[in-house]
C-alpha cells in the first residue's frame, strides 16, 4: 500500500548543476540547486570539472534540502535520481550517491529520464491547471530540441527533433561570438528586450516535417558578425540590443513554425514547454499570443522549474513510485537514452 504522505528525495546531476529536492506526494518541500560557476571562464561545461564539483556539492546539498524540507532521512520512502541523458561523470556521482543512500535506508531507488522530467514538471502541484493527456511536449534545452506527443506519464512519442545543434546550444554558441560568457542564452534574452527584432534579417533553415536544424544559423551569424566588424570594429557594442533581438526573433520563429505545424498535424491544442530555453521571454510571449488568438492551452513552467532542477526529477519519481517502477543497484547511468 502506498504510504500517504509519500516523501521522496530526488537528485539531479546530469550536467553542471547539483540539484536536490524533497517532495511530499506531488508537492515540493524543498528544491535546492548548487550552481557551478567554474565553467563560465571556459565558455562551456568541462565534464571532468563538473563531476568533481558534483562530488564536492552533493553531501551539503542533500543536507540543506532535507533541513529546508523539515524531514529526517529516516522518514523518506524512496530516492529518485537522473539516470540520463547527460554527462557520464556527472550522472555517475548522482547515481552512486542515490544507490548508496537508498541501500543504507533500505528504501526503493527510482531511475528517472531527464527529458521526461522537463516535461512532467508541469505536474508538480501548486494548485495550477495541469495538462491533460495527450498533449504536445516541447523540450528546449542545452542538449535537446524535441516535439513530443505525451500520451501518459510514461509513454512519449518523438514527432520531431533537431538534426544537429540543440536550440540552447544555438543560443550559447552565438552568445560566445558576441563575447558573452557561458551560458549566454539568458544574456541574449536580456539584451533582446531592448532591441529591434527586425533590425537584421537571418534566414531560417528549411527542414522537413517537424525536425529542426540550428547549426546553419550559428554559421550565418558568425559570417554576419565578421563582415560587419571588418567595416566597423565597434559593430557589436554599438548594435548589441538589435543583434540580440534579431537572433531571438529568428530562433523563436523557427520554434513557433514547427509548434504550429505540430498542432495542425496532430489536432492537439495543448502545448507544454520544458527545459532551460523555456525560461526565454521571447518563446513564452509568442506562446501566450497563440493562446490568446487561437484555441490553444499553453503550459509554461515556473522559472525555477525551467533550467535543471531536482524537483522535476522528484515528480517523475513520485508517479513511478505510485506505479511501483523501482530500479535495483545494478541500474546503469546512460549518457544517451531514447525518449
Residues β-bridged to residue 109 = 79, 327
How far is CA 157 from each of CA 112, 152, 230, 286, 330, rounded to the nearest angstrom? 17, 10, 47, 24, 27
Least distance from C-beta 264 to Zn ion, angstroms?
28
By beta carbon distance, the residue nearest ligand KG4 is 276
Specify the residue, 14 or 174, whose C-beta has the smaller distance to Zn ion: 14
Alpha helices in 46-113 (DSSP H): 47-69, 88-105
At 208, list the grid cell: 522537413
Specify the residue, 108 or 195, whose C-beta has the smaller distance to ligand KG4: 195
Residues β-bridged to residue 28 = 23
Least distance from C-beta 223 to Zn ion, angstroms?
30
Least distance from C-beta 44 to ligand KG4, angstroms?
10
Least distance from C-beta 152 to ligand KG4, angstroms?
23
Specify the residue, 71 or 147, whose C-beta has the smaller distance to Zn ion: 147
Specify the residue, 170 or 298, whose C-beta has the smaller distance to ligand KG4: 170
Number of H helices, E strands in the chain: 9, 10
With DSSP H G I counted as helix, E B as strand and the rest as coil, what are the percentages for the chain, rounded to 5?
45, 20, 35
> Which residue in the set 141, 145, 174, 211 belongs to the binding site for Zn ion (CB under 5 A)?
141
CA dist 37 and 34 (Å) reads: 9
> Which residue in the set 22, 95, 308, 317 belongs to the binding site for Zn ion (CB under 5 A)?
308
Specify the residue, 242 or 308, whose C-beta has the smaller distance to Zn ion: 308
Give the binding-site size for Zn ion (rule: CB under 5 A): 2
Specify the residue, 189 or 242, whose C-beta has the smaller distance to ligand KG4: 189
Burial class (CB in 10 A: 0-12, 13-18, 19+), 142: buried
Chain residues binding ligand KG4 by CB under 6 A are 15, 141-143, 168, 171-172, 183, 185-186, 189, 275-277, 279-280, 307-308
At 184, list the grid cell: 549566454
- Binding status of residue 242 toward Zn ion by CB under 5 A: no
CA dist 64 and 212 (Å) reads: 40
Least distance from C-beta 231 to ligand KG4, angstroms?
29
Least distance from C-beta 55 to ligand KG4, angstroms?
20
Binding site partner of 13, from Zn ion, ligand KG4, none, Cβ cut-off 5-8 A by kind: none
Cβ(330)–Cβ(79) under 8 Å? no
Q: Parallel, antiparallel, or unpaired: how do β-strands 270-274 and 135-140 relate?
A: parallel
Residues near Zn ion (CB under 5 A) are 141, 308
Amino acid at each position: 500500500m502506498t504510504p500517504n504522505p509519500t516523501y521522496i528525495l530526488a537528485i539531479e546531476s546530469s550536467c553542471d548543476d547539483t540539484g536536490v529536492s524533497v517532495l511530499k506526494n506531488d508537492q515540493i518541500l524543498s528544491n535546492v540547486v548548487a550552481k557551478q560557476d567554474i565553467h563560465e571562464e571556459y565558455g562551456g561545461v568541462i565534464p571532468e570539472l563538473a563531476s568533481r564539483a558534483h562530488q564536492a556539492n552533493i553531501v551539503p546539498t542533500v543536507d540543506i534540502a532535507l533541513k529546508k524540507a523539515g524531514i529526517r532521512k529516516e522518514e523518506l520512502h524512496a530516492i529518485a535520481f537522473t539516470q540520463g541523458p547527460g554527462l557520464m561523470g556527472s550522472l555517475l556521482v548522482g547515481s552512486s550517491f542515490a544507490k548508496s543512500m537508498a541501500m543504507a535506508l533500505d528504501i526503493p531507488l527510482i531511475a528517472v529520464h531527464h527529458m521526461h522530467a522537463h516535461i512532467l514538471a508541469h505536474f508538480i502541484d501548486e494548485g495550477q491547471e495541469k495538462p491533460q493527456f495527450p498533449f504536445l511536449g516541447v523540450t528546449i534545452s542545452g542538449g535537446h530540441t524535441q516535439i513530443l506527443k505525451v500520451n501518459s506519464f510514461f509513454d512519449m512519442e518523438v514527432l520531431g527533433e533537431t538534426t544537429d545543434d540543440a536550440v540552447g546550444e544555438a543560443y550559447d554558441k552565438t552568445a560566445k561570438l558576441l563575447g558573452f560568457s557561458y551560458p549566454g542564452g539568458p544574456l541574449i534574452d536580456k539584451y533582446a528586450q531592448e532591441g529591434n527584432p527586425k533590425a537584421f534579417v537571418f534566414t531560417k533553415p528549411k527542414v522537413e516535417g517537424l525536425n529542426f536544424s540550428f547549426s546553419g544559423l550559428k554559421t550565418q551569424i558568425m559570417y554576419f558578425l565578421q563582415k560587419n566588424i571588418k567595416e566597423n570594429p565597434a559593430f557589436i557594442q554599438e548594435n548589441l540590443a538589435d543583434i540580440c533581438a534579431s537572433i531571438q526573433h529568428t530562433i523563436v520563429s523557427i520554434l513557433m513554425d514547427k509548434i504550429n505545424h505540430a498542432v495542425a498535424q496532430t489536432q492537439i491544442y495543448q502545448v507544454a514547454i520544458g527545459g532551460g530555453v523555456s525560461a526565454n521571454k521571447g518563446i513564452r510571449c509568442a506562446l501566450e499570443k497563440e493562446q490568446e488568438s487561437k484555441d490553444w492551452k499553453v503550459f509554461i513552467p515556473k522559472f525555477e522549474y525551467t533550467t535543471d532542477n531536482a524537483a522535476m526529477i522528484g515528480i517523475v519519481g513520485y508517479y513511478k513510485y505510485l506505479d511501483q517502477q523501482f530500479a535495483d543497484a545494478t541500474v546503469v547511468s546512460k549518457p544517451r537514452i531514447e525518449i
